[in-house]
Amino acid sequence: MKKLLFLAALPVFIGLTSFIAPVNDRPIVIVIHAGAGNMDRSKMSAENIKIVTDKLNEAMDVGHKILENGGSSTDAVEATLNVMENAGIFDAGKGAIFNQDGKVELDASIMQGVDLKAGSVAAVMTIKNPISAARAVMDHTKHVMLVARGAEEFAKSQGLQIVDNSYFYTDGAMNDWKNWKAREDSIRKSGHNSIEEKPNHFGTCGVVALDKQGNIAAGTSTGGVSFKKPGRVGDSPIIGAGTYADNTSCAVSCTGTGEYFIRLGVAKDIASMVLYKGYSLQKALATALDKVKNLGGEGGIISLDKNGNFAIDFTTNAMNRAYIDKNGKRDVQIFRN
Ligand code: ASP
């Protein structure tokens, strides 16, 4: 009887094994962004375009190599974001924008789709690579989010690199802060309360990746928005708002005016549209960005599913973005074409 059952199951088994692709043939994909914003194309020099595109390529290659070698999507996300955090040209890690006090305060989060594990840190001022601290929260605590001093002490205890806040300063961020400060001072002098201007956010970094095991992951790292109040936390470190990953739906990383992304729970909203409504990634992203726009916000989103389908969309006139798809095709763009 047992033998009969085994024989009956054999064709099914053979069918299944011939259907499952060998590990080396399984698709790997990486999609990254370095913020969305409104920028005059004519004001960006060819040299600056090259600096940004070279760095996007370099960061993406680091993650792609990990995926190629069979590493996990979580490792690829973290390593890619480390390159971006160290670059000194994005609003993440070194190069991040200043808060109103003229200090850098960083947020980051990471999530893996295989088991819905996630970690994040917010309002940290001395952790060189916030995405690695977020990863450590995920891997080595029973919590999801640590903030400020507690996050910094935890990062130190994990052997992560601790730096003085001045490590993050760059001339670009300093000039941006001086301009905001001058405008704020003159507005206050004229009797008004505070600056009403919208931040020209540009530079938050995010990555979504698919590995050979068929697992997706997402991560986001940022200094937040220009001239934010000290202690302000945006969407980027909030799981479900700026970052989400679930193998049954998709991995998502957002950029834009974080307050709107928090109020709408954008990253999880996209995953839910895909899972419960059967939306394509394109349709889910467009729907989510519409909701953000209707509230008065703007931004961009990258998303990827476990079959290697991905989507990139934004409502600003530019978004630093790049990908290597499952066929090895590579693209890097800054402006809307
Ligand atoms: N979403 C980020 C925040 O609100 C900023 C950005 O993506 O540009 O902190």
From the alpha carbon of 203, which atom of ligand 1 is closest?
8
Does ligand 1 have an atom closer than 6 angstroms to the CB of 225? Answer: yes
202, 299 Cβ separation under 8 angstroms:
no
* 31-49 per-position pLDDT tens digit: 999 999 998 888 899 999 9
Q: Order across the sheet with 243-245: list the strands.
A: 243-245, 251-256, 299-304, 310-314
Question: What CATH homologous superfamily does 25-335 map to?
Answer: (Glycosyl)asparaginase (3.60.20.30)
* 216-252 per-position pLDDT tens digit: 999 999 999 999 999 999 999 999 999 999 999 999 9
Q: Where are the domains of the chain?
A: 25-335
From the list 204, 222, 255, 257, the catalytic residue is: 204
Helix H or strand E encompassing 302:
strand 299-304
Residue of 226, 255, 264 to test ligand 1 pocket, by largest number of atoms within 8 Å of CB: 255
- Token pair, residue 268, equals 């999880």
Q: Distance between the two ends of the chain, CA-based, in angstroms?
A: 65
Please report the pLDDT score of residue 1 as a whole number: 44
Q: What's the gap between Cα 127 and its chain centre?
A: 18
221, 107 Cβ separation under 8 angstroms:
yes
107, 234 Cβ separation under 8 angstroms:
yes
Mean pLDDT, residues 73-79 taken together: 99
Q: Order across the sheet with 29-37: list the strands.
A: 145-147, 117-124, 106-112, 216-222, 205-210, 29-37, 318-324, 330-335
Helix H or strand E encompassing 119:
strand 117-124
* 2-41 per-position pLDDT tens digit: 444 444 444 444 444 445 667 667 999 999 999 999 988 8
Q: What is the pTM of this model?
A: 0.92
Mean pLDDT, residues 71-81 taken together: 99
| Distance of alpha carbon 91 from alpha carbon 137, whole angstroms | 22
